[in-house]
């Protein structure tokens, strides 16, 4: 006779019966995420019975995105939107355009958004979207048509109260403007709140462009204080010099740090005395990459991990710091601007070597925090000035960091596990309060 579980007890199938694409040995970022969840389960108390919820995305949508190319042919791209968890509110998370993007990656990115939104306590669940395309090879017209068709295809599950996309790798405020317009055309009214990271003239928020980098800097400065690392005069290495890495690098340089090495998709540059960051930003704006910057020497991409520095900021893609290079890193502190840059194996090596890792789910949460401000401003049609936005951002980031730091000290765990304890407790608590339907 099969046993009927007591009320409130998990009746969900055990992990072993997860579909193959949800299994941890399905290599890739989703596998890393599942390992991170396993590490937090022992700290969840009674809520652990709901932990399975965290291992299954609520909804996965895969769409075909066909468009007319300029040469008259029709090209098809694969698009995704994953809503990992919406217990705490509508889904929220960026849209990435990248030629190598996979479903495993989008699932992990969506899940990390659930965790991140809960760490900073904004009323959202987690979601993420992507199109498997290299946007750099599309004309502006092709890029617009692709963005609009993708938006239309995922239009059945997004909306200001359902799921709110934002920029991520290779997407920006113009892409958000096209997404907002497409959704608005399809629904028959201007819905500014359907995406965040829009141009300021279209309901975007002041400070949003800089928000993620500002959050990276804020959390980094707080952590540095705790470990007695002085920012002024410190040596910083940055991987990825786009929205996140560029702004973070600028703020660290303004605080007196020497940004000695920068790597992007075009190559790696180094200057012992520190790079001229404003000039480098200008160069990247004009040429699209740090490569070719005159006032620096070129080093091999792999040498980036050996650079003598105090602070390392990975701000490009996932799985950059692995068991292979974690032992070579000289930094005392790693601030994860990117999502998922460190694998669980590398986390263990870094912890053993006493390198402090500020995990993505708090370090880069500044972007979604100001996205939340943008969404609130859109709903109320009342816009705040930049000082107010930055002040509120810094307050939330410092508060979230302090809470995570305390949980880490109390439980003698890494900041990543501590952030997951804070977030997963919040998510599963709302899961329990809401109960299962029907």
| Chain positions contacting ligand NAD, by CB under 6 A | 167-170, 212, 239-245, 263-265, 315-317, 337-339, 364, 367
Question: Measured from the CB of residue 307, what is the shortest distance to ligand NAD in angstroms?
Answer: 14
Question: Measured from the CB of residue 367, what is the shortest distance to ligand NAD in angstroms?
Answer: 3
With beta carbons less than 8 A apart as the criterion, state whether 252 and 282 touch.
no
The residue whose Cβ lies closest to ligand NAD is 242
Pairing between strand 91-97 and 333-335? Answer: unpaired
Cβ-proximal residues to 4 (8 Å cutoff; 6+ apart), any chain? none
C-beta closer to ligand NAD: residue 203 or 366: 366
330 in active site? no
C-beta closer to ligand NAD: residue 168 or 378: 168
Number of H-type helices and E-type strands within the chain: 12, 12
Residue 261 β-bridge partners: 237, 270
Give the Cα separation of 178 and 149 in Å (integer). 10
With beta carbons less than 8 A apart as the criterion, state whether 99 and 133 touch.
yes
C-beta closer to ligand NAD: residue 50 or 366: 366
Pairing between strand 258-264 and 267-270? Answer: antiparallel
Is the bond preceding residue 438 a cis peptide, omega within 30 degrees?
A: yes
Reported as type and span, the H/E element at residue 279 is: helix 277-287
Question: Measured from the CB of residue 247, what is the shortest distance to ligand NAD in angstroms?
Answer: 8
C-beta closer to ligand NAD: residue 181 or 264: 264
With beta carbons less than 8 A apart as the criterion, state whether 42 and 115 touch.
no
Question: Measured from the CB of residue 245, what is the shortest distance to ligand NAD in angstroms?
Answer: 6
Question: Measured from the CB of residue 301, what is the shortest distance to ligand NAD in angstroms?
Answer: 7
With beta carbons less than 8 A apart as the criterion, state whether 393 and 370 touch.
yes
From 210, 80, 196, select the one nearest 133 (Cα to Cα).
80
Quote the strand ranges of 48-162, DSSP E: 59-68, 74-85, 91-97, 126-131
With beta carbons less than 8 A apart as the criterion, state whether 220 and 335 touch.
yes
The distance from CA 134 to its chain's CA centroid, rounded to whole angstroms, is 19
Question: Measured from the CB of residue 7, what is the shortest distance to ligand NAD in angstroms?
Answer: 39
Give the Cα separation of 310 and 312 in Å (integer). 7
C-beta closer to ligand NAD: residue 40 or 244: 244
C-beta closer to ligand NAD: residue 68 or 136: 136
Question: Measured from the CB of residue 264, what is the shortest distance to ligand NAD in angstroms?
Answer: 3
C-beta closer to ligand NAD: residue 253 or 413: 253
Helix (H, G, I), strand (E, B) or coil at 85: strand
Residue entry with tokens 């005392």:
332
Residue 314 β-bridge partners: 239
Q: Which two tokens stand for residue 230?
A: 């002085």
Catalytic residue among 128, 282, 285, 330: 128
Which residues participate in catalysis according to the annotation? 128
């Amino acid at each position: 006779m099969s046993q009927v579980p007591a009320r409130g007890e998990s009746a969900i199938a055990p992990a072993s019966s997860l579909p193959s694409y949800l299994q941890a040995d399905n290599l890739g970022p989703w596998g890393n995420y599942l390992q991170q969840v396993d590490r937090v389960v022992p700290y969840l108390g009674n809520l652990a019975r709901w932990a399975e919820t965290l291992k299954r995305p609520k909804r996965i949508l895969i769409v075909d995105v066909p468009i007319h190319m300029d040469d008259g042919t029709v090209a098809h791209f694969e698009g995704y939107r994953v809503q990992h968890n919406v217990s705490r509110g509508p889904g929220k998370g960026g849209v990435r355009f990248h030629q190598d993007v996979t479903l495993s990656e989008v699932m992990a990115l969506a899940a990390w958004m659930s965790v991140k939104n809960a760490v900073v306590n904004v009323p959202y669940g987690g979601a993420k979207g992507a199109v498997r395309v290299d946007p750099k090879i599309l004309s502006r017209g092709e890029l617009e048509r692709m963005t609009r068709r993708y938006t239309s295809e995922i239009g059945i599950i997004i909306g200001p109260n359902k799921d709110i996309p934002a920029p991520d790798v290779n997407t920006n405020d113009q892409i958000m403007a096209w997404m907002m317009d497409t959704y608005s055309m399809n629904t028959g009214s201007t819905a500014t709140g359907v995406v965040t990271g829009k141009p300021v003239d279209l309901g975007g928020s002041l400070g949003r462009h800089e928000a993620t980098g500002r959050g990276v800097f804020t959390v980094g400065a707080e952590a540095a204080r705790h470990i007695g690392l002085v920012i002024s005069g410190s040596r910083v290495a940055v991987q990825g010099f786009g929205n996140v890495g560029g702004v973070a690098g600028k703020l660290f340089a303004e605080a007196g740090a020497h940004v000695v090495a920068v790597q992007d998709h075009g190559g790696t540059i180094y200057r012992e005395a520190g790079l001229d960051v404003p000039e480098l930003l200008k160069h990247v704006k004009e040429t699209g990459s740090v490569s070719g910057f005159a006032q620096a020497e070129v080093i091999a991409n792999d040498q980036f991990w050996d650079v003598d520095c105090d602070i390392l900021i990975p701000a490009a893609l996932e799985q950059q710091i692995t068991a292979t290079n974690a032992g070579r890193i000289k930094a005392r502190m790693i601030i994860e601007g990117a999502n998922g840059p460190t694998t669980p194996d590398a986390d263990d090596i870094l912890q053993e070597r006493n390198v402090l890792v500020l995990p993505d789910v708090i370090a880069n949460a500044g972007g979604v925090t100001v996205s939340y401000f943008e969404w609130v401003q859109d709903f109320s049609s009342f816009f705040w000035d930049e000082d107010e936005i930055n002040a509120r951002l810094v307050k939330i980031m410092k508060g979230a960091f302090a809470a995570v730091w305390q949980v880490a000290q109390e439980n003698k765990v890494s900041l990543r596990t501590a952030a997951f304890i804070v977030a997963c407790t919040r998510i599963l608590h709302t899961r329990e309060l809401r109960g299962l339907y029907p």
